[in-house]
Amino acid sequence: MPRPLHALGLALSFACGAAETPSTPAAAPVPSEFRLAYEQHFDTAAALRGFAMSDTNAWEFAADGQSFALELARQSKYQASVRSPFNIALIADQIFGDFVLEADLVQTGKEYGHRDMCLFFGFQDPTHFYYVHLATAADDHAHNIFIVNGAPRTKIARETTKGVNWGLGIWHKVRLERRLADGSVRVYFDDLTQPVMVAEDKTFGAGWIGFGSFDDTGKVDNIRIWSSTEPDPRPVIFFARGARP
């Protein structure tokens, strides 16, 4: 049985040193034709087996009291042949087309303009994919939706904000919505009623979904993915599986 979402407990225990979770407005409902296709709360270290990583030594199972998560603890010793994020953990055995993704993220690095966490989607191989870069300040290489298409990453969002406030030790709820028919991509941060990024692109179809950072650290928890299509099992063959306890 998956354990309950622990975000509220974390917020109540912040005064004792645990991470804080901000309250979030009610999100728009998931479309009725979508069903829950994937869920992961990292109850045990065995959950890491379900991820394929650009560098397995960079990722750990984080356990802090009643809080459990997938942690990007250090920089990956990995670099793709084109300029793109180094730290990647993909859900290893299923690709997704149309989907709604929700997850909790906390950024554990120092504050600076490009301080980030990333969401990967439509991932075809290490040089062909999309990613969302959620960063403190937006510029040509930060806080945008990017495409990596056999060349250095290029921003594709037609709407963005000036950045996000990660804070210190604060968990944030993120939501990513994608539709293949019109190529629409919408990204939400804490306020799940108002997107912080919007894009349209049809270059890549269904692909793997994942998490990570360009060159920072952080944690991921409470992943849920709804999809309108039947599961398409397809194992990642270009990255290694997560560490086995």
DSSP class of residue 239?
S
Return contacts of 46-51, CB within 8 angstroms, 24+ apart.
46/244, 46/245, 48/242, 48/243, 48/244, 48/245, 49/92, 49/241, 49/242, 49/244, 50/91, 50/92, 50/93, 50/242, 51/89, 51/90, 51/91, 51/92, 51/210, 51/241, 51/242
Is the pLDDT at 176 greater than 90, yes or no?
A: yes
Tell me the per-residue pLDDT of 182-201, one tens digit each, with 9 for 90 and over.
999 999 999 999 999 999 99
User: What predicted TM-score, i.e. pTM, was given to this entire model?
Assistant: 0.89
Q: How many residues does the chain have?
A: 245
Domains of the chain (ranges; CATH) run 33-230 (2.60.120.560)
Mean pLDDT of the chain: 90
Most confidently predicted of 25-39, 56-70, 76-90: 76-90
Is the pLDDT at 202 greater than 60, yes or no?
A: yes
* 166: three-class secondary structure by DSSP: coil
Scored b (16 or more CB within 10 A) or e, 38-64 reads: bebbbeebebbebbbbbbbebbbbbee
How much of the chain, in percent, has pLDDT values that exceed 90?
82
Is the pLDDT at 5 greater than 50, yes or no?
A: no
Please report which confidence band the pLDDT of residue 11 belongs to, taking 50, 70 and 90 as the band edges.
Answer: very low
Q: Which two tokens stand for residue 94?
A: 């299923």
Please give the pLDDT value at position 106: 97
Distance from C-alpha of 28 to C-alpha of 242, rounded to nearest angstrom: 33
Tokens 């994608």: give the residue.
178
Among 15-24, 132-141, 235-244, the range scoring the smallest mean pLDDT is 15-24
Tell me the per-residue pLDDT of 78-91, one tens digit each, with 9 for 90 and over.
989 999 999 999 99
Q: Which residue has the higher pLDDT, 105 or 64?
A: 105
Are 123 and 209 contacting, i.e. CB atoms less than 8 angstroms apart? yes
**Rounded average pLDDT over 217-242:** 96
Are 54 and 87 contacting, i.e. CB atoms less than 8 angstroms apart? yes
